Amino acid sequence: MNLRRLWAIARKETLHIWRDPRSLGLAIGIPMLMIILFGYALTLDVDRVPLVVWDQSHTPASRDYVAHFTGSRYFAWRGAVANYRELELAIDTRQAALALVIPADFGRDLAAGRRPAVQAIIDGSDSNTAGIVLGYAQGVTLACNQQIALAQVRRTTGSTPPTLLDLRARVWFNPDLESKNYIIPGIIAVIMGLIAALLTSLTVAREWERGTMEQLISTPVRASEVILGKLLPYFAIGMIDVLIALLMAIFMFQVPLRGSIPLLLAMSALFIVGTLAQGILISTLARQQLLASQLAMVSTFLPAFLLSGFTFAIANMPVPVQVVTHLVPARYFVALVKGIFLRGVGLEAMWPDALFLLLFAVIVAVIAIRNFRKKLG
């Protein structure tokens, strides 16, 4: 490999990027815009669940039970209803996601030591949210049950029974259970993969469409020098995007960075090289910019978003799909970014993920070079 020819190709590609400021602006602006949109719009936190109540009892006991819900930060009071028709209307119009129906004999049954049945109607059109709301409702009811049981024991015995079990939970890495703390690092991996592949998927295809490929072929430049020369300027842009994304995550979204910044940048560089090589491979195969960009979108963003473990737990996927996820490089980069960001771990715990990214970058780059060599022939 001749370094002068390699530098000439890299300089040529850099000049092309510099003469097209709109593309350069999009290459830097799109990741920022996507991080802002995903960071603020994509959240898995379920707070302030709208609640309506049909209280047929109208007793201090029923009001105390409702107060357990309205006093929780997880529920937002939306008013009382007088019948099932109003209750159904509140759920149908999405004014409420949870409706409680308290029977007329609620207070009398509690005073007599019986177990009154309270109906909880949950909007199940969003199954994930409905499951979380159900857990909230069961937790509030359990706390209310414990309070009532302790009050009855005090009235009967005149003393408070000791607590036999004392569970002291400690949540590591994300003590406040904020979804942004793992969504933002994950979306950085997804966006970097998409942008890197899109940037280079147009390079070789553009040469074919403009008719300049024949001139490039006629020069003594080698296939490896063409591929690596075209990759270098976009690698620099990709690393700038990574730095911007990290600064936004830390200072805009206050995501804690507990691990090594140099290690994170090194892993990002491996991932960007692999996805850049993937984009160039797509470009050599497609020869058309529109087709190349579409293939880059399908082969990077969709697998990274759906199969990397960013939004959906891989362990919950069907076994055949779990096998396919091992071929998605974003899966390993998402694990690395989250491990460095939130857990503060190093390569001693994540070296298999780093090794896969290294192998992926080398293999895809070699395939792209060999495929381009065939075009030269």
Tally of domains within the chain: 2
- The whole domain housing 105 covers 49-157
CB distance 287 to 208 below 8 Å: yes
Per-residue pLDDT tens for 211-245?
A: 666 666 667 777 787 788 888 888 998 899 999 99
Alpha-carbon gap, residue 274 to 357, rounded angstroms: 7
Q: Is the pLDDT score of 66 beyond 50?
A: yes
pLDDT of residue 211: 65
Assess if residue 169 is contained within a domain: no
Alpha-carbon gap, residue 340 to 189, rounded angstroms: 13
pLDDT of residue 112: 82
**Burial degree of 331 (CB within 10 A; 0-12, 13-18, 19+):** buried
Assess if residue 162 is contained within a domain: no
Are 245 and 314 within one domain?
A: yes
Once rounded to an integer, what is the mean pLDDT over residues 26-50? 83
pLDDT of residue 216: 67
pLDDT of residue 359: 95
Are 258 and 337 within one domain?
A: yes
Identify how many contiguous H helices and E strands the chain contains and give both numbers: 16, 4
**φ and ψ at residue 54, rounded to 5 degrees:** -105, 95
Are 124 and 207 within one domain?
A: no
**φ and ψ at residue 93, rounded to 5 degrees:** -90, 5
Per-residue pLDDT tens for 329-361?
A: 999 999 999 899 888 888 888 999 999 999 999
CB distance 64 to 107 below 8 Å: no
Domain end residue (candidates: 91, 123, 157) = 157
Assess if residue 333 is contained within a domain: yes
Q: Is the pLDDT score of 171 beyond 70?
A: yes
Assess if residue 275 is contained within a domain: yes
Alpha-carbon gap, residue 248 to 243, rounded angstroms: 9
Are 190 and 233 within one domain?
A: yes
Assess if residue 113 is contained within a domain: yes
Are 36 and 55 within one domain?
A: no
Domain end residue (candidates: 127, 157, 187) = 157
Are 206 and 347 within one domain?
A: yes
Give 10 or 246, the one with higher predicted confidence.
246
Q: Is the pLDDT score of 374 beyond 60?
A: no
Alpha-carbon gap, residue 94 to 62, rounded angstroms: 25
Give 41 or 164, the one with higher predicted confidence.
41
**Least confident residue range of 278-287, 307-316, 367-376:** 367-376
Are 7 and 70 within one domain?
A: no
pLDDT of residue 200: 80
Per-residue pLDDT tens for 293-339?
A: 888 888 888 888 888 888 788 888 899 999 999 999 999 999 999 89
Assess if residue 293 is contained within a domain: yes
Are 284 and 344 within one domain?
A: yes
Alpha-carbon gap, residue 277 to 69, rounded angstroms: 54
Q: Is the pLDDT score of 98 beyond 70?
A: yes
pLDDT of residue 302: 84
Domain end residue (candidates: 157, 187, 216) = 157
Q: Is the pLDDT score of 376 beyond 60?
A: no
Are 128 and 82 within one domain?
A: yes
Alpha-carbon gap, residue 120 to 99, rounded angstroms: 6
DSSP characters for 57-82?
S-SHHHHHHHHHHHTSTTEEEEEE-S
Q: Which residues contact 152 (CB under 8 A, 6 or more apart)?
A: 113
Alpha-carbon gap, residue 173 to 181, rounded angstroms: 9
Q: Is the pLDDT score of 130 beyond 50?
A: yes
Assess if residue 172 is contained within a domain: no
pLDDT of residue 356: 94
Are 153 and 182 within one domain?
A: no
* 65 confidence band (pLDDT: 50, 70, 90): very high
Are 195 and 287 within one domain?
A: yes
The mean predicted confidence, pLDDT, of the chain is 85
Alpha-carbon gap, residue 73 to 12, rounded angstroms: 58
Assess if residue 82 is contained within a domain: yes
Are 194 and 243 within one domain?
A: yes
Once rounded to an integer, what is the mean pLDDT over residues 80-86? 92
Report the CATH number that the domain containing residue 83 is assigned in CATH: 3.40.1710.10
* Nearest one of 98, 106, 101 to 60, comparing CA atoms: 106
